[in-house]
Amino acid sequence: MGHRILILATVIAVLPIASAANAQAQGRVVGRVIDQTGAVLPGVAIDLVVDKTEMTTTTDGNGHYLFEGVPAGTGELTFRLLDFGVLRRLVSVTHGKTVTSDNVLNLALNADVIVTEVARSATSQMSRTLLRISSASLRQRAKAPSPRSSSKVAR
């Protein structure tokens, strides 16, 4: 019984040390994202890929972001926000260290825009125009003498 208590006490004593060592084997990546005027950008989607580990976060109301538990190695940060250009940055994460990567996103000169109401409106307007043309054609045909009625008149 005393032997089991000694083994259990050893395991309990070693676990925090192993956890601390594992935590130091990972790093942190922090930063802030602003636009070209210096205004903070909340809601920026940020992806971080280090080796086979993929992590995602978004900037808070002050433009700050944080990745914890990042494996050591070279990683790529990708920043995305509607109406802004996509930005990619490389970071080198080391054991137990914090890497700071502050970035500036620029407004996109061209943006992908999907307009649905105008397309529906244009389609609807085109349909009405075609209907008017078809109606006018039918009225013209109705007014024009048909070949049969012309032959009846000639008799």
Q: What is the pLDDT of residues 107-122, one digit of tens each?
A: 997 655 566 665 566 6
CATH number of the 24-105 domain: 2.60.40.1120
- Between residues 126 and 85, which one has the greater pLDDT? 85
What's this model's pTM, rounded to 2 decimal places? Answer: 0.58
Q: What number is the average pLDDT over the span 70-83? A: 97
Percent of the chain with pLDDT over 90: 53
47-76 pLDDT, tens digit per residue, is 999 999 999 999 999 999 999 999 999 999
User: When comparing pLDDT for 6 and 27, which is higher?
Assistant: 27
Q: How many CB atoms lie within 10 A of CB 143?
A: 7
pLDDT value of residue 155 = 46
Please list the residues that pair with 65 across neighbouring strands. 31
Residue 132: pLDDT band (50, 70, 90) is low
